[in-house]
Amino acid sequence: MEIKVNFLDNLRLEAKFDDFTVVADQPIRYKGDGSAPGPFDYFLASSALCAAYFVKLYCSTRNISTDNIRLSQNNIVDPENRYNQIFKIQVELPADISDKDRQGILRSIERCTVKKVVQTGPEFVIEQVESIDADAQALLMPSLAAQSSTHIVGKDLPLEQTIANMSEILANLGMKIEIASWRNIVPNVWSLHIRDAHSPMCFTNGKGSTKESALASALGEFIERLNCNFFYNDQFWGQEIAQADFVHYPNEKWFKPGANDALPTEILDEYCLEIYNPDDELLGSHLYDTNSGNIARGICSLPYVRQSDGEVVYFPSNLVENLFLSNGMSAGNTLAEAQVQCLSEIFERAVKREIIEGEMTLPDVPQEVLAKYPSILAGIQALQEQGFPVLVKDASLGGQYPVMCVTLMNPRTGGVFASFGAHPKLEVALERSLTELLQGRSFEGLNDLPQPTFSSNAVTEPNNAVEHFIDSSGVVSWRFFSSESDYEFVEWDFSVQGEHSNSEEAAALFAILEGMGKEAYMAVYEHLGATACRILVPDYSEVYLVEDLIWDNTNKALLFREDILNLHRLEDAELEALLERLEDCDSDDYTEIKTLIGIEFDDNTVWGQLTILELKLLICLALKQFEEAKELVETFLQYNTNTVERGLFYQCMNVVLKVLLDDELELDHYLVNFRCMFGDERMDAVMGSVEGSVRFFGLTPTSMKLEGLDRHQRLIDSYKKLHTARAKAVAL
């Protein structure tokens, strides 16, 4: 994690990281102002808080109340060496906690991350740099041996060279990549989480049988998502980018809708139009670009090559963004390597969806076949020793597709997790299924798995497929666990041996799609110095429903974005018009405004937690529509998931509006005790909101220039690095 420090007045310091700001000071006796804890005080508190977190985690997963658990920490200083200290953590537990859980709670404290880092002894590297922002040296694996040469199936270069190449590309872009976490809870299964230190919203997860393969996986995913702009999906990229020579890619084209908002004739082809516009309901305005919001330019469209004949077909960026998410994108040392990875994932997700929605039963992989892969078997056995039964299934549907499945059961909670993996080689597909199962997960995380169901509606509901795609948190049918499988086991093998194996395997995977009657369209991206591709298979690789282009398109942000960002400047008539559009909006009242308009507000601000419901409430207050506001306040309080402070503000607002709207009550008769209950500051904010001197309490003013929106500005800064690199690449 990158922590940037600013020097404030006197001895006060300010540390900024993620969306948080921490201020440190020194006691008055040390010439400070005593306005905040000192740096060392924060350090001491961090270990106590970390210990308490693990206690809370242990208790939460076992439904143990922490109301009567107390924890304290004291540091005992050696009088002869003040740097030699004992951290004494004491826990007071209520009498009704079992001996087993008492020991479990004490063991949970032993897992405290701060404690383990201190005990291991961190190494400090202190250096001077010309510019902190320009120093984009990747913070990855300093111990990675440059002279090593580890080859794995599917990679055209050794892992060490792959990691070095990708790290250099990211550094050249000006991105400082940091590892936020590593996990290795069973043998031969590694995962990690990496992110851009400047813009932590840009992150990926990697997985593999070794730490090197997991790191290469994470870096590859990071580069693929940069190339395909996935980190910036649905977001507003700012007015500067909106007016630039290009918005997404230098080879994009913009087409104007025809008469009566008809689709431009230049986009899509007949095959795609039958899929995306079967009833002639899709309009040109449905396809305006969300990221720029520049309607005047027309529909931003990106070139894809149709694989059946090599013809270029233009796909609206809006269509790709709305339907495909990250499905069908990959980066590699070579284009063929990227294609194999990309197509494998397309099959993995499509076959997974077919199996889950079809409530199919898959055949078990025989033990003698599993025995051929001892490193995979070791990981499975380690899970079983921890009390998690594991089922290994052949998901090839009778040898048609290169897909495997590993399913974990949690008898403690009744939850299950079906993980799928794909690759032309069975061993790699099986390994990916297992590593995907545990990617970023602890043993405690396996307690959150959903329970199976016999409800067909639950597994076929479209959002279940989306949840399976995002993090495999969807539900599966109990029919999946029948002993009567729908297919016979096939020890399939789609792999090819030799120097050009990836090229031949990619051709074989394309051939499967062709045999299914599917068209594939591919875009190749090399502007950033790495080879990446995106493959679209209409009516096969979409994540969201085609109808979403009409009924749940992300470009509905264009109806609201400018007015909401200029909220404090709107006249009453403009506020009334905005309120009417919000009322007519198809989005749920609990949709967050940041999702609605594509702006990354800081999570720990009122903007960051603002919903459509609360925005309508605040507009009603500004318009003095108190009856409507009172109804919305009651709804807010009934289903409030906001902060305690925000809840108290509306609790106070609720009683004030109740008095104001009741002809038999006088507000003056209640003000004294309202102030006793809610405090002067909160009461002043409520009365100001009612009287009109306070508008949109808690929402700091901003505009289309995005001033004060640091988190979103950092996201735009990240995208501008790509935009600059693309412009330079085509200028050469």
3-state per-residue secondary structure call for 206-225: EEECCHHHHHHHHHHHHHHH
Q: Is residue 139 very low, low, confident or very high in pLDDT (cuts 50, 70, 90)?
A: low
Which tokens go with 281? Answer: 């309901």
Q: Is residue 286 very low, low, confident or very high in pLDDT (cuts 50, 70, 90)?
A: very high
Q: Is residue 146 very low, low, confident or very high in pLDDT (cuts 50, 70, 90)?
A: low
Dist CA 487 CA 27 (whole Å): 72
Strands (DSSP E) contained in 217-262 are 253-255
Identify the pLDDT of residue 29: 81
Identify the pLDDT of residue 601: 95
pLDDT (mean) for 50-56: 94
Identify the pLDDT of residue 151: 77
- Radius of gyration for the chain, computed over Cα atoms and rounded to the nearest angstrom: 28
Which tokens go with 692? Answer: 């009109």
Q: Answer yes or no: are the C-beta atoms of 709 and 593 closer than 8 Å.
A: no
Confidence (pTM): 0.88
Q: Answer yes or no: are the C-beta atoms of 137 and 176 closer than 8 Å.
A: yes
Percent of the chain with pLDDT over 90: 77
Contacts of residue 213, Cβ cutoff 8 Å, sequence gap at least 6: 152, 159, 190
- Taking only the tens place, the pLDDT of each residue in 653-687 is 999 999 999 999 999 999 999 999 999 999 999 99
Pairing of strands 329-332, 203-208: unpaired
Q: Is the pLDDT of residue 606 over 80?
A: yes
DSSP sequence for 39-52: HHHHHHHHHHHHHH
Q: Answer yes or no: are the C-beta atoms of 140 and 414 closer than 8 Å.
A: no
- Under DSSP, the state recorded for 364 is B
- Under DSSP, the state recorded for 399 is T
Identify the pLDDT of residue 154: 74
Identify the pLDDT of residue 121: 85
Q: How many CB atoms lie within 10 A of CB 73?
A: 15
- Under DSSP, the state recorded for 607 is H
> Poorest-confidence range of 111-120, 139-148, 677-686?
139-148
Identify the pLDDT of residue 16: 84
**Sign of the dihedral through C-alpha 587, 590, 592, 595:** negative
pLDDT (mean) for 407-414: 94
pLDDT (mean) for 8-35: 86
Amino acid (1-letter code) at residue 297: R
CA atoms within 13 A on the CB side of 493: 6
SS3 7: strand
Contacts of residue 392, Cβ cutoff 8 Å, sequence gap at least 6: 364, 365, 370, 380, 404, 405, 406, 407, 430
> Poorest-confidence range of 387-391, 506-510, 562-566, 638-642?
638-642
Q: Is the pLDDT of residue 202 over 70?
A: yes
SS3 89: strand
pLDDT (mean) for 127-132: 76
Identify the pLDDT of residue 119: 87
- Taking only the tens place, the pLDDT of each residue in 491-549 is 999 988 766 789 999 999 999 999 999 999 999 999 999 999 999 999 999 999 999 99
Amino acid (1-letter code) at residue 197: A
- Taking only the tens place, the pLDDT of each residue in 552-567 is 999 999 999 999 999 9
Contacts of residue 338, Cβ cutoff 8 Å, sequence gap at least 6: 224, 330, 331, 332, 531, 532, 533
pLDDT (mean) for 140-148: 59
Dist CA 230 CA 220 (whole Å): 13
> Poorest-confidence range of 16-20, 419-423, 594-598?
16-20
Report phi then psi at 304, rounded to 5: -125, 145
Q: How many CB atoms lie within 10 A of CB 695?
A: 17
10 Å CB burial of residue 307 (0-12, 13-18, 19+) is middle
Identify the pLDDT of residue 135: 60
Pairing of strands 13-17, 20-24: antiparallel
Q: Is the pLDDT of residue 577 over 80?
A: yes
Mean pLDDT of the chain: 92
Q: Which residues of 114-148 are buried (b: 16+ CB within 10 A; e: fewer)?
A: bbeeeeeeeeeeeeeeeeeeeebebebbeeeeeee
Q: Is the pLDDT of residue 54 over 90?
A: yes
Q: Answer yes or no: are the C-beta atoms of 287 and 318 closer than 8 Å.
A: yes
Dist CA 130 CA 462 (whole Å): 52
Q: How many CB atoms lie within 10 A of CB 243?
A: 12
Identify the pLDDT of residue 143: 56
Instruction: Report residue 408 CA to chain centroid gap.
Output: 23
Q: Answer yes or no: are the C-beta atoms of 623 and 575 closer than 8 Å.
A: yes
Instruction: Report residue 336 CA to chain centroid gap.
Output: 28
10 Å CB burial of residue 293 (0-12, 13-18, 19+) is buried
Q: Is residue 141 very low, low, confident or very high in pLDDT (cuts 50, 70, 90)?
A: low
